[in-house]
Chains A and B, each alone.
Chain A
Amino acid sequence: MPEVTMTVNGKPASGEVEGRTLLVQFLREDLNLTGTHVGCDTSQCGACVVHVDGQAVKACTMLAAEADGAEVTTIEGMAAPDGTLDRVQEAFKEHHGLQCGFCTPGMVMSAAALLRDTPKPTEAEVREYLEGNICRCTGYHNIVKAIMAASGQEVSALAAE
């Protein structure tokens, strides 16, 4: 079996994998980074989004072998080493942007990528960007609100509650 080596959350990681092993399987099963979730088998739900060399990628659409040599960041690598939450994580907590928590890692990773490319997205831009992330709990209301808040925009008037 081929050996893969990559940097995950700033630390070196390697392992032997079958050729068919997906990146998400390698992360979850070999590295025990179970924060990245699997919610579908057609690459649509987005629960498995991670960053590979700075790009948001669905870790179920990529073979582990393809990530050989890459820099990978998962949800476990988002908070600062002292535990301080990233601004997206913090905003999700502040604005109740999660319920069951299963889609959350993918939502946070997608949102972080969006805000890197589009620092002040409009509501429509946030909603369109999340096309590849499905949430069944929140009706998206507080997710969109949290992402806009994380971008530093005033959200209290978006929809009164």
Chain B
Amino acid sequence: MPKDHGIGASSKRREDERFLTGVGNYTDDINLRGQAYVHFLRSDVAHGKINKVDTSAAEAMPGVVRIFTGADFDGVGGLPCGWQVTDKHGQPMQEPAHPVLAQGKVRHVGDPIAAVVAETAAKARDAAEAIEYDIDELPAVIDMKKAVQPDAPKVHDDLESNLCYDWGFVEENKPAVDEAFEKAAHVTTLELVNNRLIANPMEPRVAVGDYARATDESTLYTTSQNPHVIRLLMGAFVLGIPEHKLRVVAPDVGGGFGTKIFHYAEEAFCTFAARALARPVKWTASRSEAFMSDAHGRDHVTKIELALDADNNFTALRTDTYANMGAYLSTFAPSVPTWLHGTLMAGNYKTPLIYVNVKAVFTNTVPVDAYRGAGRPEATFQLERVIDKAAIELGVDPIELRRKNFITEFPYETPVAVAYDTGDYHATMDKLEEIADLSGFEARRKESAARGRLRGLGVNTYIEACGIAPSNLVGQLGARAGLYESATVRVNATGSISVMTGSHSHGQGHETAFPQVVADMLGIDESMIDIVHGDTARVPMGMGTYGSRSLAVGGSAMVRATEKVINKAKKIAAHLMEASEADIELKDGQFTVAGTDKSVAWGDVTLAAYVPHNYPLEDIEPGLEETAFYDPSNFTYPSGAYACEVEVDPETGKVTIERFAAADDFGNIINPMIVDGQVHGGIGQGIGQALLEGCAYDENGQLITGSYMDYAMPRADDVPFYQVDHSCQTPCTHNPLGVKGCGEAGAIGSPPAVVNAVVNALRSGGHDLTHIDMPLSPSRVWQAMNA
């Protein structure tokens, strides 16, 4: 029987009630008395020198409060980068300034030039159109390989070049890797593009700045995955406001997928302007603005080589990647193609020698940073594609080639600096073969052929490093932050509980799943526990939600704080029952003295903590509230095997996803319903990347895909029902819940399955090809068939 409460139960989501009845509280639903509205005038050229910005005519427009330009931010800090990568020569990356409003130059379409504050949003927009500005358009650099040529125009005149860093990993291994390639029995080489994507959470970004003159306190309401990170970055590096005078609130947030991690100019602007004007200032992005100002994702160009011996054992792997940073360094951008990508290149395989080279490049495009999976999808895609190509070249079964090279003993130290604690890759592949009914594929292929369709099967595995991350490790790797998480468990006198967590829920269902854990530990009803998140004034310092870390890191902090609560509650119970603390047991919300029939209820103990008439005041303080900070000792390593079946219409090149199956190992599971949903969503985004989505710039840096008219978001009729399974569970060995995280797996594991399937389909139709770059649009597939 499935559990009906606590850990392992598919408890229905309590947040659904407000979302389904229209009473959620998203940032754009917040309106403060006396608020003014901002409209940003944004650059319509990719690269240019600002000669003049004349706001005088616009200032005279009705309802205009004030217009700000880059000059208003002289002496104000720029937007900081939170991660410093060291290049292969031991030198720090090139790190350009990133002003809140453009100063001197504009560097991408969408770069903000001026900000109009007016009484209404419409008046702000009208006035922005009246700003007279003169920009000399300069040649733009868009293509990464051209950008690093010596004669390329420079995005930042004060930097030596457009090369942010040239990173080698592990640099000392390179000679041994090169030697292994010379000795290889077979080498498979693949050049590919990991297409640039736009995260597109359905809620556009919003910022509302507020300022209280009486207390000199600033408040920012913002669409963020990590309000404390925004408070730290904006307060310390941009505006110089100490933490105790700055509150950041991220209320209901309508999806994040990475792009709401970062600190953005609009947040700093609204906070700054609210102080300058002493009134609330609100900005709501249009979707078009989101396309040209939200950090983009992916955008790698890679050459990968796989060396095999005569028995088809992988002997070495070598990659050469260009990674687009865009025009400025977004908050965590440098870490994505390096530490979130290079460290994953071993995948599920015991390849002994690996060398990864990444050149990060500035271009006149929107900054690029983490998007669901962040570096790990890029690693998985190239690895799983080159393995499929090797199987084709060697004439072997692609699943057998993978199985032959699977890591089977744990813990396993990879040659790329991480140690997998647990996993069972054969088990997830076995489960996949079962749930995807791979043995029935040939019959389905015949049936498709009878209808004139080419059917293909694509299979791959993935591994990810998540539960980000041990602070001492990421500090060595260049992170300018710690990556612990916090929790306060506040038990009230009547026994109800508020759990303050530093992680943030923007669709993941923390309000439901987290109480399941605490309820399980205390043996009380889930409904007695509420989760508080997203407000720096109510929650201890936490690092937020990304990298599938909320349960593995934030949940662990919650467990530690609850353990402290239990320890103290047992002391109180022992006093109440005049027993030894060592004899106290807690079960189903009752404290008992072992071996006796004495008991006191949870509520008796919590009441005694706050009404301490009969209480061991000489030993312990009144009250029952505990805080814990948890810093993990390792990443967690979810893994799995995915299968996709497609049909290709040979007349049009249109690809249809017929079946999709995912067998994941997430370790222990708290709420299976929510986990299913996370995987579904990740697969949906992965299919979007594989078939539909691609952010395009023209050679002048104009954003071609600037709205939903041009950027193909997956719709309901682009995807099938998915078959998902997470019954293979090798619990994480180093966190108290044994959990690994499930938020990004679907987006990491699915793109190679789709592309492998399409290549397989086309080869079955006699087309001798081994790769097509994503997105596999009908025109690309048709052209590949007819090349």
Q: Which residues of A contact B (CB under 8 A)?
A: 18, 20, 28-29, 33-42, 44-45, 47, 74-76, 78-79, 85, 89, 92-94, 96, 98-105, 108, 123-124, 126-128, 130-131, 133-145, 158-161
B715: interface (CB < 8 Å):
yes
Query: What distance in Å separates the Cβ of B525 from its nearest Cβ neighbour in chain A?
Result: 19
Query: What distance in Å separates the Cβ of A145 from its nearest Cβ neighbour in chain B?
Result: 8
B786: interface (CB < 8 Å):
no
B708 and A45 contacting across the interface, CB-CB below 8 Å: yes
Q: Which residues of A contact B23 (CB under 8 A)?
A: 35, 76
Query: What distance in Å separates the Cβ of A142 from its nearest Cβ neighbour in chain B?
Result: 6
A96 and B13 contacting across the interface, CB-CB below 8 Å: yes
B237: interface (CB < 8 Å):
no
A159 and B721 contacting across the interface, CB-CB below 8 Å: yes
Q: Which residues of A contact B717 (CB under 8 A)?
A: 124, 127-128, 130-131
Distance in angstroms between the alpha carbons of A159 and B22 in the assembled complex:
29
Answer whether A159 and B722 are a contact pair too, CB < 8 Å, given A42-B287, A75-B22, A76-B23.
Answer: yes
> Among the listed A29, A36, A127, A145, which residue makes an inter-chain contact with B22, where contact means beta carbons less than 8 Å apart?
A36
> Among the listed A42, A100, A128, which residue makes an inter-chain contact with B203, where contact means beta carbons less than 8 Å apart?
A100
Distance in angstroms between the alpha carbons of A161 and B664 in the assembled complex:
12
Answer whether A101 and B715 are a contact pair too, CB < 8 Å, given A38-B28, A139-B722.
Answer: no
Q: Which of B157-165, B177-185, B415-423, B501-509 contacts its partner?
A: B501-509
Q: Which residues of A contact B676 (CB under 8 A)?
A: 96, 142, 161
29 pairs, CB–CB < 8 Å, chain A vs chain B: A20-B122, A33-B22, A39-B203, A42-B709, A75-B20, A75-B21, A79-B21, A85-B21, A92-B16, A92-B20, A93-B12, A96-B674, A98-B16, A99-B677, A101-B15, A101-B18, A102-B255, A123-B721, A126-B716, A127-B715, A131-B716, A134-B713, A136-B200, A137-B681, A138-B684, A139-B683, A141-B677, A144-B716, A161-B723
Q: Which residues of A contact B204 (CB under 8 A)?
A: 38-39
Answer whether A139 and B682 are a contact pair too, CB < 8 Å, given A100-B507, A102-B254, A127-B716.
Answer: yes
Distance in angstroms between the alpha carbons of A143 and B722 in the assembled complex:
13
Query: What distance in Å separates the Cβ of B486 from its nearest Cβ neighbour in chain A?
Result: 23
Query: What distance in Å separates the Cβ of A39 from its nearest Cβ neighbour in chain B?
Result: 5
Distance in angstroms between the alpha carbons of A74 and B716 in the assembled complex:
23
Q: Which residues of B contact A143 (CB under 8 A)?
A: 716
Query: What distance in Å separates the Cβ of B10 from its nearest Cβ neighbour in chain A?
Result: 8
Q: Which residues of B contact A92 (CB under 8 A)?
A: 16, 20
B619: interface (CB < 8 Å):
no
B719 and A140 contacting across the interface, CB-CB below 8 Å: yes
Closest to B15 in A: A101
The residue among B255, B435, B723 with the most chain A CB atoms within 10 A of its own CB is B255
Q: Which residues of A contact B26 (CB under 8 A)?
A: 34, 37, 102
B506 and A100 contacting across the interface, CB-CB below 8 Å: yes
B286: interface (CB < 8 Å):
yes
A102 and B202 contacting across the interface, CB-CB below 8 Å: yes
B509 and A39 contacting across the interface, CB-CB below 8 Å: no
Closest to B284 in A: A38
Q: Which residues of A contact B723 (CB under 8 A)?
A: 159-161
Q: Which 4 residue pairs of A and B lie closest in terms of their CB atoms, listed nearest first?
A: A35-B22, A139-B684, A101-B19, A102-B254
A89 and B255 contacting across the interface, CB-CB below 8 Å: no
The residue among B15, B17, B708, B722 with the most chain A CB atoms within 10 A of its own CB is B708
Q: Which residues of A contact B687 (CB under 8 A)?
A: 139
Q: Which residues of A contact B715 (CB under 8 A)?
A: 127, 130-131, 134, 140
Distance in angstroms between the alpha carbons of A27 and B202 in the assembled complex:
19
Distance in angstroms between the alpha carbons of A90 and B253 in the assembled complex:
22
B707 and A135 contacting across the interface, CB-CB below 8 Å: no
Q: Which residues of B contact A42 (CB under 8 A)?
A: 287-288, 707-709
Answer whether A85 and B201 are a contact pair too, CB < 8 Å, given A133-B716, A136-B713, A138-B684.
Answer: no
Q: Which residues of B contact A101 (CB under 8 A)?
A: 15-16, 18-20, 24, 252, 254, 507
B331: interface (CB < 8 Å):
no
> Among the listed A35, A137, A140, which residue makes an inter-chain contact with B716, where contact means beta carbons less than 8 Å apart?
A140
Distance in angstroms between the alpha carbons of A24 and B687 in the assembled complex:
32
B1-40 interface code vs A (CB 8 A; 1 in, 0 out): 0000000000011011111111110101101000000000
B29 and A138 contacting across the interface, CB-CB below 8 Å: no
A34 and B22 contacting across the interface, CB-CB below 8 Å: yes
Distance in angstroms between the alpha carbons of A52 and B489 in the assembled complex:
47
Distance in angstroms between the alpha carbons of A18 and B746 in the assembled complex:
46
Q: Which residues of A contact B253 (CB under 8 A)?
A: 100
B22 and A41 contacting across the interface, CB-CB below 8 Å: no
B685: interface (CB < 8 Å):
yes
Q: Which residues of B contact A102 (CB under 8 A)?
A: 26, 201-203, 254-255
Distance in angstroms between the alpha carbons of A92 and B13 in the assembled complex:
10
Closest to B678 in A: A99
B433: interface (CB < 8 Å):
no
B166: interface (CB < 8 Å):
no
Distance in angstroms between the alpha carbons of A21 and B24 in the assembled complex:
24
B724: interface (CB < 8 Å):
yes
B681-709 interface code vs A (CB 8 A; 1 in, 0 out): 11111010000000000000000000111
Query: What distance in Å separates the Cβ of B76 from its nearest Cβ neighbour in chain A?
Result: 30
Q: Which residues of B contact A137 (CB under 8 A)?
A: 202, 255, 507, 677, 681
> Among the listed B12, B13, B681, which residue makes an inter-chain contact with A138, where contact means beta carbons less than 8 Å apart?
B681
Distance in angstroms between the alpha carbons of A117 and B683 in the assembled complex:
31
B680: interface (CB < 8 Å):
yes
The residue among B19, B673, B708 with the most chain A CB atoms within 10 A of its own CB is B19
A39 and B287 contacting across the interface, CB-CB below 8 Å: yes
Q: Which residues of A contact B508 (CB under 8 A)?
A: 99
Closest to A39 in B: B202
The residue among B676, B682, B687 with the most chain A CB atoms within 10 A of its own CB is B676
B725: interface (CB < 8 Å):
yes
**Residues 480 to 509 of chain B near chain A (Cβ within 8 Å):** 506-509
Query: What distance in Å separates the Cβ of A112 from its nearest Cβ neighbour in chain B?
Result: 12
Q: Which residues of B contact A99 (CB under 8 A)?
A: 255, 507-509, 677, 681
> Among the listed B254, B677, B714, which residue makes an inter-chain contact with A37, where contact means beta carbons less than 8 Å apart?
B254
B609-641 interface code vs A (CB 8 A; 1 in, 0 out): 000000000000000000000000000000000
Q: Which residues of A contact B16 (CB under 8 A)?
A: 92-93, 98, 101
| 16 additional contacts (CB under 8 A) given A85-B20, A99-B255, A103-B254 | A20-B122, A33-B22, A37-B26, A45-B202, A45-B708, A75-B20, A75-B22, A96-B677, A98-B20, A102-B202, A102-B203, A104-B20, A139-B687, A140-B719, A141-B721, A158-B721
B721-739 interface code vs A (CB 8 A; 1 in, 0 out): 1111100000000000000
Q: Which residues of B contact A124 (CB under 8 A)?
A: 717
Q: Which residues of B contact A39 (CB under 8 A)?
A: 202-204, 254, 287
Q: Which residues of A contact B683 (CB under 8 A)?
A: 139
B232-253 interface code vs A (CB 8 A; 1 in, 0 out): 0000000000000000000011
B83: interface (CB < 8 Å):
no
Distance in angstroms between the alpha carbons of A161 and B255 in the assembled complex:
24
Distance in angstroms between the alpha carbons of A161 and B122 in the assembled complex:
48
A144 and B721 contacting across the interface, CB-CB below 8 Å: yes
Q: Which residues of B contact A123 (CB under 8 A)?
A: 721
Distance in angstroms between the alpha carbons of A106 and B287 in the assembled complex:
17
A138 and B255 contacting across the interface, CB-CB below 8 Å: no
B257: interface (CB < 8 Å):
yes
B680 and A139 contacting across the interface, CB-CB below 8 Å: yes
B708 and A135 contacting across the interface, CB-CB below 8 Å: no
Query: What distance in Å separates the Cβ of A12 from its nearest Cβ neighbour in chain B?
Result: 19
Distance in angstroms between the alpha carbons of A59 and B29 in the assembled complex:
17
Distance in angstroms between the alpha carbons of A5 and B20 in the assembled complex:
27
The residue among B17, B122, B203 with the most chain A CB atoms within 10 A of its own CB is B203
Distance in angstroms between the alpha carbons of A151 and B13 in the assembled complex:
22
> Among the listed A29, A34, A44, which residue makes an inter-chain contact with B708, where contact means beta carbons less than 8 Å apart?
A44
The residue among A20, A127, A130, A143 with the most chain B CB atoms within 10 A of its own CB is A127
Distance in angstroms between the alpha carbons of A92 and B709 in the assembled complex:
28
Q: Which residues of A contact B722 (CB under 8 A)?
A: 139, 141, 159
Distance in angstroms between the alpha carbons of A105 and B204 in the assembled complex:
16
Q: Which residues of B contact A20 (CB under 8 A)?
A: 122
Query: What distance in Å separates the Cβ of B74 from its nearest Cβ neighbour in chain A?
Result: 33
